[in-house]
Each structure stands twice: as structure tokens, then as C-alpha cells.
Structure 1
Amino acid sequence: MWLFCGLGNPGEEYKETRHNFGFLVLDAFAKKHRLKFEFYRDMESEVAYFKDKAILIKPQTYMNLSGRAVKKWMIKERIPLNNLLVIYDDMDLPLGKIKIAPKGGAGGHKGMVSIIEALGSSDFPRMKLGIGKPDHKDTVKFVLSPFNEEEKEKVKKVIEIAVLALEDLIYKDLLKTMTIYNSQTAI
């Protein structure tokens, strides 16, 4: 069983922002497979189940506290670290690039910092979705802003590719999935 955790912030005002890229991918996966997210107050997240293969969670704690919800699901479902995949935005990758890694640091991402601290380890897979760097120094404003019209077509393609990667991860292994998708760029 996989635990797919998409990172983002709850609320309409954040729905289409760069920081909600992880939520957008899980929403697309759920739509494709006709899954419905339900809010679990005690687990601080929205959740959908994909057969007996994956649990999709969107923490509703706001980004900087995402680790609370992830840890609760890891314990409840007895998910080993290597079966957790965190999906999130990454400013160090250009828009259109996806990178799947078996482990790594937080890279300054507050949601990842929270998860690593809550789990006491960074040894879990992640899917980084490139958003590029802002032209200005205000990174908070950048990640909390929506994708512009010019970027939206590329974002749509990234989401499609990311959904295929999640499907492959479920039915293949991590290494094969990394080999296929780390070389792709949505143009």
C-alpha cells in the first residue's frame, strides 16, 4: 500500500497556486479514477482510497504543519517510509520538469521540513514538480500566486505526466518509475 501525500494549502484562495501543485496532481488522479476525497477531521486531511493500492491524502493543516497529518496516516495504516510518496512544488526545477527521488532533504520547502521533522527521517520517496524561480526576491508571494496564463498549458501537461507516474509507481517499482519520468519534460 502506498501513501501519496500531495502538499498544498486548504481554501479556495490557494487552490490554483504554485504551492498547491501536489494537491492539483492528486485531484487529477482522483478525477481520472473517479475517487472522491472525504475530510477526516481527526486525521487533519482529505483522503481518497485507490483500490487496495494507495491512499491519497491532502493535509488540511496548511503547508508548514503538513507533517502532523502525514505522521497520523503513517501510524494508522502502518505505512513504511519507503511507501510514502510526497508530491510538492520545487523552485529549483524549471516549470515542466518532474523529478522523482528515493530520498533527500527538504530543500528549504517548509512542508517537507515539517514532514521530515514529524517522521524523524528524510528517507522516503518524493515527486518534485518544478515551478521555477521568481524574477524577484519575494519567494512567498511567488509560491502563493497562481500560475499565469502562459504557464497553464505546461502545468496541465505536468499534471497528466505526474498522474501516469503515480499509476506506474503503483504497478511497477520506484526505480523503473524514476527511470521513465525523470527524463521527461512537459513542453
Structure 2
Amino acid sequence: MGERTRIRAVIGLGNPGPHYAFTRHNLGFMVLDRLASRHHLSFRQQSRWQAMWAKLPLEGGEVHLLKPLTYMNLSGEAVRRLSQRYSLRPEEILVVYDDMDLPPGRLKLALSGSAGGHRGMASVLEALGTPAVPRLRLGIGRPPEGMDPALYVLTPFAPDELPEVDRWLDRAVMVLECVLREGMLKAMNKFHQRQQ
């Protein structure tokens, strides 16, 4: 992916419904909500795509923001429909999601890779037919010993964790805005060095 390839869509992964709203698995939705709020945007339902959708106007062209309303393991269907409707290439789509393999609060940008066991990302990669899909992974850390990982990711953040999560969201939005302004490679260099 060259520096000239512009990100034209940002996908946040999560599960729909208030029951899942503040769970670890919904960090992708939470980041997109924070990004939309900063730019005074509202999501609207797109029944054809089974998703919530907004458009972020930027210099150089608008960016689609999408939150699939299917459950996590079917997220790719909405992404595929959006990409067909707007002729988006996989390298123009950035996916935001939680990752147990990263320490809590750690952010990692990548141009491609496997799903790493994340069912939502696996669905997106399958729908787009390539592992070369940019992504922003947000670390949630490993579950406590003896806790089922599937239960851990669906557990809401505790009240005392929320101020820290708030900082994670602000940092993730800052990274996304840098990606949209300057491209993936510059953003990767800037933020990965800062986290060292």
C-alpha cells in the first residue's frame, strides 16, 4: 500500500444493542462514536447494509464511517456491501477493533495480517478476500486466570476503568485523524515511535 492510497472508509467492530454497549468487544464502535462526536456527525441506519453509517467530510474527499449491526462474526457482510456500493478497494478500508494480544490501552496500526482469532476481523477478511486490509487494534489485555476469553470480551468495563478507557478512545481518534490526514505509513511511524 503506497502513501498515496487514501483511507476512504473506517469500520468499527462491535455487537449491536445496549447490552453490549460498554463491553471490551465494542471498542471499535466506541472509537467511531467518539470520532463522529468530535466532528458533530450522526449515524443513521442503512437497512440494506445492516449497519449504522455516517459520512465524514474531509479535504480530498469524504470518508465513510460504518458500524455493522450484524453480530460480530458476520461483520464482513456489511463491509462487503459498502465496498461494492462505493467501489472501495480493501486497502482503502481501515478496521478498528479490540485485541487481547495487546496490553490494555496499547494501539497498533498495520497494513495487513491475519485476524488473530478475532471473529469480526476474520469475517471482514473473508468478505474482502484478502488479508491486506488496514487495521487499528486496541489492546484490552488477557482475561484474569481461569476466566473464559469469550466471557471476558463481553464483560462491561468496570466504573473505575472508564476514565482510562476515555483516554484510550481519545488517543485512538487522534491516531485515526492522523491516518485520514497523512496516510497509514506516516501515522504508523509517528504513533508507534511514541509508544516505544
Same-fold call, TM cutoff 0.5: yes
Whether 1:71 aligns to 2:80 is yes
Match of 1:37 in 2: 43
Cα distance in 2 between the residues matched to 1:133 and 1:2: 32
Q: Cα offset for 1:120? A: 1.1
TM-score, normalised via structure 1 length? 0.95
| 1:144-187, Cα deviation, whole Å (9 max, x unpaired) | 011123322221111101111111111101111111222445xx
State the alpha-carbon separation in 2 of the partners of residues 179 and 44 from structure 1.
35
Query: Contact 1:89–1:129 (CA<8 Å) still a contact in 2?
Result: yes
Cα distance in 2 for partners of 1:159, 1:105 equals 24
Letter of the aligned partner of 1:139 in structure 2? Answer: P
Distance 1:183 1:147, change over 3 A: farther
1:23 aligns with 2:33: no
The residue number in structure 2 matching 1:60 is 69
* Structure 1 unmatched runs, 5+: none
What does the per-residue CA deviation read over 1:74-95, in whole Å, with 9 as the maximum and x for residues that have no partner? 1111111111100000000011
Of 117, 133, 140, the match for 2:142? 133
Once residues 160 and 102 of structure 2 are traced to their aligned partners in structure 1, the CA distance between those partners, rounded to angstroms, is: 18
Partner of 1:148: 158
Query: Take 1:160 and 1:184, find their aligned partners in 2: how far apart are those partners?
Result: 15
RMSD: 1.1
- TM-score under structure 2 length normalisation: 0.91
Q: Equivalents in 1 of 2:124, 2:29: separation in Å?
A: 16
Q: Distance in 2 between matches of 1:122 and 1:147?
A: 30
**Residue in structure 1 matching 2:178, options 168, 181, 184:** 168
Distance 1:25 1:183 in 2: 22
CA offsets per residue over residues 54-105 of structure 1, 9 Å max, x none? 1000000010000000000011111111111000000000111000001000
Structure 2 residue identity aligned to 1:35: L
2:3 corresponds in structure 1 to none
The whole-number CA distance in structure 2 between the counterparts of 1:35 and 1:114 is 27
Q: Distance in 2 between matches of 1:182 and 1:42?
A: 37
1:49 is matched by which residue type in structure 2? K
* Aligned partners of 1:53 and 1:170 also within 8 Å: no
Task: Give 1:164's aligned amino acid.
Answer: M
Aligned residues: 185
- Equivalent position amino acid for 1:77 in 2: Y
Q: Which runs of 5+ in 2 are unaligned?
A: 1-6
